[in-house]
Amino acid sequence: MVALNPVLAAVLRNTLGRRRGVTGCLFTFHRAARPEDWASLPDRDFYVDIGFLDRLLAYLARHGWSVVTIEEAIRRSAAGDPSKFVNFSIDDCYRDTFELVVPLFRKHGVPVTLFVTTGIPDGTHVMWQAGLEQTVRERDTVVLDGKIVDVASPARKRAVYNAKARAWEGREPLEYAAFCAANAVDTGAVYANHAMTWEMIEAVVDDPHVEIGSHTVHHPHVASLSEEAAFCELERSRLRLEERLDIEVHHFAFPYGRAGDCGPRDFALAGKAGYRSASTTRKGLLTAGADPLHLPRNTLNGRHQQMHHAELHLTGISGLAARVLNRV
């Protein structure tokens, strides 16, 4: 992909801003990894290289972008504030959020929003992605469907991980349990290696660079649930965070977050469950006067780690393309 010329990017931002009352861009991602670990990751799309994130934060500062909380983002949207701003949010919250991400944002002196799946620190969420990835990453062979499968090379690790993740869709906990039994996976060690614990969250809850939000209890496709079950996921996660951390939680992010994962019923439920905002993963820019209960966010992942990829989000081009291609 050809990089956007900085002048062209600025013109596009200004043009879209005048036409649509654009006020900001919300970024999201799930996990972060050190540059030296990148080659060995089977599930690269789930991560952002922490070195790239460091460069992106410096780039935004040089080009006059403010990094703000979700609370401040919706305030600016409501006020029609024309200044350039971004928000960064992390969904789920794993150990690397505590070890890599929060320290990086603290170094840059800017905030980051943590949308916590409360089943992770509570130890009730099945961490099948982390367990599958760790096992494939650490071993030269794994047992799949009763057969010994080679996963010695980085390419084989990625291929096998991706194939099993697709094959398990919709029945991940059961498939993962069978995989762990066949491969003698220590699920307690997986949790210790990957989960962000309550103690870690408590260590950052008073940090002025950290905003805490909710991301359900069990990370379901909310739209697939009954209204009662969906409301329970939204409300219980907020109440759990407030009870454990002694804070008020005002912001929520839908798991998965695309059009099929959350809709008008679910946006209304977020308001009923006590949230001021609810974020999706539908690409686009935050416009003046936008409904805070279905905010757009732009996902950063392992395939898109160049500044021109970020500019495609900052200019709104990626959101426009997604709508044209019906990838929402």
In angstroms, the CA 277 to CA 259 distance is 17
Composition of the chain by helix, strand, coil, percent to 5: 50, 15, 35
CATH code linked to domain 6-123+195-324: 3.20.20.370
pLDDT at 203 over 80: yes
Give the model confidence (pLDDT) of 70-113 as tens digits. 999 999 999 999 899 999 999 999 999 999 999 999 999 999 99
Place of tokens 């949230």: 275
Sign of CA dihedral 70, 81, 307, 303: positive
Question: Per-residue DSSP letters for 35-66?
Answer: GGGGGG-TTGGGEEEHHHHHHHHHHHHHTTPE
Q: How would you class 220 by CB atoms within 10 Å of its CB: exposed for 0-12, middle for 13-18, buried for 19 or more?
A: middle
Give the model confidence (pLDDT) of 1-29 as tens digits. 344 555 445 444 444 444 456 779 999 99
Give the residue extent of every domain in the chain: 6-123+195-324, 128-190
